[in-house]
Amino acid sequence: MFELAPMPRFRLYTRASDYAHLLRDVLLGRATRGDDAARLEREICRRFDVPYAVCMPQGRVGIYLAIKHTIKPGQKVVLSPYTIADVINMVICAGGRPVFADIDRQSTNILAEDIERLIDGETGAVMVTHLHGLSCDIERIATICRSRNVPLIEDAAQSFGARVNGKAVGTFGDAGVFSFGMYKNVTAFYGGMIVTRDERLYHAVRAALDATPYMSCSTVIAKAVKALVTDVVTSPLLFKTCVYWLFRFGYLHEIRAINKHVMVELDTSRTHALPASYLRRFLPVQARMVMRQLPRVDANAAVRIGYSRLYYEALSSIPDVVVPAFRDDGSYVYNYFPLQYHPRTALVRSAMRQRRDMAVQHLKNCASLPSFAPEYRDCPNAEATAAQVILLPNYPRYGERSVVRNIAALRRFFAGGGEHFSDDDVNRLAELHMTSLPDSNVSVLGAEYARAFYRYVTDSSRELTMIDRDAAGRISAAAVISLEPDSLPRRLVFRTPLLWHMVAHPRRMFAWALTLRGPAAARSHMPELILIYTSPEERGRGRATTLIQRAETHLRRLGIDAYEVKTVADPSNPTLAFYRSRGFTPRKTASELGRRFQVFERQLHEG
Ligand SMILES: Cc1ncc(COP(=O)(O)O)c(C=O)c1O
């Protein structure tokens, strides 16, 4: 199961043939030829069982047109603050006054009860967002809107193909909007679609675009080139051999020049008028691209749902973690599996260190953005969610093994108590180790090596480092458990400057050789408590005992039911009594091993 580098955090839903078709059609002058946009609209009407559909140059233009032709200028639009600022801007450009309703932490979607509370005589529309492919409580919201006689618009930009009780999202209200943007699960590099049952709205939207020119081919080509670069950079071979390592280095060392290429920093400024260039017609060549993807939509969703089940089952019971519910009835198509945790950067850092690739969600709580200060409303759930979402990859080409590896990395992070080790921490661990365990094989190699050892161990996904801090925040006790103790010496040879230290200090090498672990007979392939110590000032306060208890809780969470510890079998060694008194049972005696070690084993029974 060893993997040198992970699959990328996302991949586009494009295929090589999409680029070939685009190039061919542009070169042959066929980009604007054909009635494919109308064909696509008919196909969407058939699939979603609606009478009207209109292709859009971008999803946001659909939102703009839907709001503009639904409300009277100056009316309120109740909406979710947890979305891109462009959506709020479209409402403002369309003459609406955004009113932010809070969201549900788990689904990250707008709360029906908040909508109900906020609707008043000035409300012109309610607009919901089905985020991350998770449908909001749409049946209830539709009922509320009907009973209050308020039009309902659905932003289903991220949820193409999701269905609630068999009915497509986007078709519950007066209008639904989809996006075919570059990162969406159906992509035309750029574009979108409005669906509606309202004939008046349909004609208004149609008329608004019919008078406009086609989107220029160069706009679509520029997007396609960007997509192609993204596809090349995230192609597994290139990504795993170079790109990942570069971005990982940039991320872990906070190098902005590298990070800016993966950071999504959306424009959050306020817009008052729709840019004239937005009103364009969707190109037939783009419609053909969407048509080719439609047969794959449901199968792709099924794969994402399957991966989301794995994430859900493994992560939903972890304390302090918020994940969406698991649904396989089609109402959740999970365009990513959003996990919430605070502090999320500690988790992403740990995942990166463990050679995984995942990223934080870039969406903000628009209700607290300075640009929407006039519309400010306290939305505590949106505020917390915006600070905590991490997008776990689940795209169809990701592979189940990659999901399983992510889960293992996340569980190790949580098992380790979600600890983040700074350089100061690493130095402190080395210093404490040298003073507390002067005879150990790490200490005999010197302080410099001890630091290299802890840099490796605190980064490693196969060791758990548990610590205690004193009142000043300094590490006062530490315990390290190796989940794979058999491979640790080999890993240290390759991952730390062990050989160099031995060559540079032959005498230390000799001392180190003397400390080597027991012979093969001692091997059990069981996790092993390899280090435990307390700072001199904190000794005698039961620190080691509590660390062991915490370690055991973590091991249980990892599904481990036994571990062992080796200790020097000298009767004067106080640790023998320590382990005996804490329920460790002798497994191999010194005479059996023919060495001076005693091996203790500890069974972890639930409870
Ligand atoms: C929730 C949501 N709404 C609307 C949009 C706008 O779609 P487009 O980029 O096609 O204008 C997006 C795009 O990212 C989105 O994520």
**CATH value at residue 369:** 3.90.1150.10
Residue type, 56: M
Atom 10 in ligand 1: residue holding the nearest Cα: 59
Q: Compute mean pLDDT per 10 residues along the chain, 607 residues long, and list them.
A: 83 97 95 96 98 98 98 98 97 98 98 98 98 98 98 98 98 98 97 98 97 93 97 97 94 84 80 94 97 98 97 87 97 98 89 92 96 97 97 97 92 73 89 91 89 88 86 90 88 86 77 58 78 90 88 82 86 84 81 72 77
- Residue 597 forms part of a structural domain: yes
- Going by C-alpha positions, the residue among 196, 234, 190 that lies closest to residue 214 is 190
**Ligand 1 geometric centre to CA of 529 (Å):** 50
164 and 36 in a common domain? yes
487 and 536 in a common domain? yes
128's enclosing H/E stretch is: strand 123-129
197 and 158 in a common domain? yes
| Exposure class string for 179-217: b at 16+ Cβ within 10 A, else e | bbbbebbbbbbbbbbbbbebeebbebbeebbeeeebbeb
> Residue 533: beta bridge partners?
478
CA separation for the pair 295, 194 (Å, rounded)? 20
- Residue 62 forms part of a structural domain: yes
211 and 83 in a common domain? yes
The token pair that represents 146 in the structure block: 């009907």
**Ligand 1 geometric centre to CA of 7 (Å):** 25
269 and 200 in a common domain? no
Find the angle CA(75)-CA(77)-CA(82) to the nearest 5 degrees. Answer: 155
Q: Give the range of the structural domain holding residue 253, as residue numbers without chain letter.
A: 236-273+295-399
- Residue 67 forms part of a structural domain: yes
**Ligand 1 geometric centre to CA of 225 (Å):** 20
The predicted pLDDT at position 511 comes to: 66
Q: What is the pTM of this model?
A: 0.78
Which residues are near ligand 1 (CB < 6 Å)? 58-60, 83-84, 87, 129, 131, 155, 157-158, 179, 181, 192
Q: Give me the phi and psi of 157, to 5 degrees please.
A: -50, -35
The predicted pLDDT at position 299 comes to: 98
- Model confidence pLDDT, tens digit, residues 274-323: 999 999 999 999 999 999 999 999 999 999 999 999 999 989 888 789 99
431 and 365 in a common domain? no
- Model confidence pLDDT, tens digit, residues 326-361: 999 999 999 999 999 988 988 998 899 889 999 999
CA separation for the pair 434, 450 (Å, rounded)? 8
585 and 478 in a common domain? yes
Atom 12 in ligand 1: residue holding the nearest Cα: 157
Domain termination site, one of 156, 191, 219: 219
198 and 128 in a common domain? yes
Indicate the number of domains in the chain: 3
With a CB cutoff of 8 Å and minimum separation 6, the contacts of 403 are: 307, 310, 311, 392, 393, 394
386 and 240 in a common domain? yes
The token pair that represents 551 in the structure block: 């370690």
- Residue 586 forms part of a structural domain: yes
Which ranges of 82-235 does DSSP label H, i.e. alpha helix? 85-93, 112-118, 138-148, 199-210, 217-233
Q: Are 131 and 333 in contact (CB under 8 A)?
A: no
- Residue 261 forms part of a structural domain: yes
492 and 394 in a common domain? no
